[in-house]
């Protein structure tokens, strides 16, 4: 049926175009977020495992990864959750407020997208663990490094104060833009 419409050459070319388009879309989406997202700096604490597909990375934990229990939404509202048990996560939005020392701290949590926030506030899209609801993941917990160099970054984190520059999109999506060591911007992720 399809063979009548497409020759094998056209079929291969078309699938190649779709695959290239999908990869390009992933890159463009990230570049858009990194170049136009609002910039915030979050303090980090790393540890080091390895990912099967994506090589070495440093696992990052942020100060904003721990949420005060009082801020969490009512349990009853989370009955619509799709998963349960260890490893399951529940989507939520964390509202951060800029402090006088330029750091950002969580001030509110909601399960719907916050609107009309003042300039000193921003919201991040995250997910909380089912079994430990205070722990929130933002999708920026892995910092990929060249094979075998994770430890150096770990050691640096022990001796110096490490922070991540994070780009935040309008919908609360986050991406790591660079690293700050002892208040100095030392590494900027190139867009390409």
Partner 1 sequence: MYRSQNRLLDDVARWQASGWVTPDGASAIRSEIAARRTGIGLAGVLATLAAVLLCFGVMSFVAANWQAMPKLARLAVIAVGLWTTLGGAIWLDRRGLPYFANAALLAASGIFGAGIMLIAQMYHMDGHPPDAILLWASGTVLMGLLTRSNAVLAAALALFTLWSQMESFGYGLRHGPHWAFLLAWTTVAAGVAMTRWRPGMHLLAITLSIWIIQLAYTGQLHGRAASGHLLVTLIGLTLVGASIGFGPVIDRWRQISGAMLAYGFFIAFVGSLGLQFVADHRGTLTLPLGALTLLAIVGVLAWAWRTDNRSGLWLAYAAFSIEIFSLYVKKIGTMLGTSAFFLVTGLLLAGLAWAAFRLHGKSIQIVEENR
Which of 44, 56, 94, 96 is close enough to bind partner 1 by CB under 8 A?
56
| Cα of 66 vs its chain's centroid, Å | 15
At 127, list the tokens: 């997910």
CA–CA gap between residue 36 and residue 31 (Å, rounded): 8
> Rule CB under 8 A: is residue 141 a binding residue for partner 1?
yes
Q: Which of residues 98 and 173 has its CB atom nearest to partner 1 in the complex?
A: 173
Q: Which of residues 67 and 179 has its CB atom nearest to partner 1 in the complex?
A: 179
Q: Which residue is listed with tokens 């900027």?
A: 188
Compute how many residues bind partner 1; rule: CB under 8 A: 54
Site for partner 1 in 58-117 (CB under 8 A): 81-89
Residue 154: burial class (beta carbons within 10 Å; 0-12, 13-18, 19+)? middle
> Rule CB under 8 A: is residue 26 a binding residue for partner 1?
yes
> Rule CB under 8 A: is residue 144 a binding residue for partner 1?
yes
CA–CA gap between residue 74 and residue 58 (Å, rounded): 33
Stretch of residues binding partner 1 (CB under 8 A), selected from 24-32, 40-48, 62-70, 101-109: 24-32
């Amino acid at each position: 049926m399809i063979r009548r419409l497409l020759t094998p050459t056209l079929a291969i070319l078309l699938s190649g175009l779709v695959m290239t388009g999908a990869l390009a879309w992933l890159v463009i989406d990230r570049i858009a977020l990194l170049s136009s997202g609002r910039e915030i700096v979050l303090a980090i604490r790393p540890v080091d495992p390895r990912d099967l597909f994506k090589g070495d990375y440093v696992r990052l934990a942020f100060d904003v990864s721990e949420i005060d229990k009082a801020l969490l939404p009512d349990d009853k509202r989370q009955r619509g959750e799709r998963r349960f048990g260890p490893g399951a996560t529940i989507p939520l939005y964390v509202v951060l407020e800029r402090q006088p020392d330029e750091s950002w701290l969580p001030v509110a949590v909601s399960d719907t997208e916050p609107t009309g926030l003042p300039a000193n506030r921003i919201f991040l899209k995250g997910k909380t663990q089912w079994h430990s609801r205070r722990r929130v993941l933002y999708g920026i917990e892995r910092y990929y490094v060249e094979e075998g160099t994770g430890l150096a970054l770990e050691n640096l984190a022990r001796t110096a104060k490490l922070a991540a520059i994070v780009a935040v999109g309008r919908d609360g999506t986050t991406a790591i833009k660079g690293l700050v060591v002892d208040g100095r911007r030392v590494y900027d992720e190139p867009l390409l």
